[in-house]
Every structure is written in C-alpha cells, then in structure tokens.
Structure 1
Amino acid sequence: MSMNLTPEKFSYEPEYLLAGTDIRVTTAIKKAAATLKAGAPVKLDGSGKAAPVAKADGTTGLYGIATEDFKSGEDAVIYLTGEFFADHLALETGVTAASLEVAFRNIGIFLK
C-alpha cells in the first residue's frame, strides 16, 4: 500500500452575509412557502409563510432575509434586523438590492 505524501493546498473563502454587529440581529421562524436560498429577501404570503421576493412584488410586504437554504414546508429562520452585505443577497431575476434598500431600512435591515 502506498501513501500520497505530495503536499496539497486547500483554500476556503467564506461568503459573509452579515456585515456588522452595530445593529442587533434578530430572527424569527416561519414556514417556507417555497424553496428559499440563503440571503434571499422574503415576504409573508397570505398564509403567513415566507416566500422569496419577486420583481412583481415590489417592496410591499418585505419581511426579512433567509438565514440559509430552506425547502418548501421547512421551518425557515429569517433575519428581521441587522447589517448585511448587499452583494451577498440571493435576489430573484429582476430584483435589485437598490430597489429593496429603503424598504429594508424601514424594517431595521441595513445593506452595505
């Protein structure tokens, strides 16, 4: 039996969603109405479940940001307040961080 003794290099570059701790981070748990990606802006649908924000939704009913990936029907942990990197948001097609910035600010979420 032979051993591979060749040095190997590994690297890891984490992607941070949280941008700071100056503003207290709070969370809530809601059922996911659809598949949610980590960093996805969410709204509450008519049944009170967390759904991704689509272009057609605008900023009406904006609720928070998904903490990680969730499948439909799972309990999803949602950030309600805090500071987040705008370039790490998981945005649906046609949705921009700039279009959500003011609405997020109104609910205690600040984008950097």
Structure 2
Amino acid sequence: MKSNPVKVSGKLFRYDFDHSVVEYIIKADAETIDAEIEWEQKHGSQLYGVGADGYIVLASAGLRKENWTNTAARKEYLSGWADELEEEATCLADDFVQYELPNMMKEAAK
C-alpha cells in the first residue's frame, strides 16, 4: 500500500508501506504514457516505469514507518531531500552551461 502523494518544495513524494521506503515521484503526462505503451508493445519492457497509478518513481530511500507518520519528522526529512535534489539540479545545470553548451554552440556555428 502506498500513501497519497505529498508535495514539498514543488516535489512529490509518497510512502510505500509494504517496502518501508519513501519514493520521489512525478506524474506521467499523456505523451509519456503513450510512449510507455508503445515501447512496452514493441520491446516487452517498460521505458519510463510508469505505474498503474500514472506515477514514475525517480528515486527511493528507506524510512521507518514511524518517521513517515510523524508529521514533523516527515516534513523535516522531505524538506532536506527536496533541498538536496534542487542543489543537485543546480550543479548539473551549471556544469552543462560551463562544459557542454560552448561545444554545442561551436557545432551549431559550423
């Protein structure tokens, strides 16, 4: 059984009670679902991992049930995780601008 999604700092999380893990999730859009169905029919496996509920699990981490049901502990944990995800995204974007974008611009100018 999984909890309803909880939004923290613009990111969605839910708790999987059967496996004692928190999942960082996104809701699949219609285009992604269509691509998933097409891929599964052609290749017999999933491309994005869209669940029956329409969510894609991007990452998961173990967490005791007591820490999920304690609202203050859950909020603190998820806020910290959301901050780490945002920091990682910022670093990736900075690296792209510094290292990849100049090469792409050179290639486009040719």
Tell me whether the two structures share a fold, i.e. TM-score over 0.5: no
Structure (1 or 2) with the greater helix fraction: 2
Q: Which protein, 1 or 2, shows the higher relative CO under an 8 Å CA cutoff with sep ≥ 6? A: 1
TM-score normalised by length of structure 1: 0.26
Question: What TM-score does the superposition give when structure 2 sets the normalisation length?
Answer: 0.26
**Could you say which structure has the larger radius of gyration?**
2
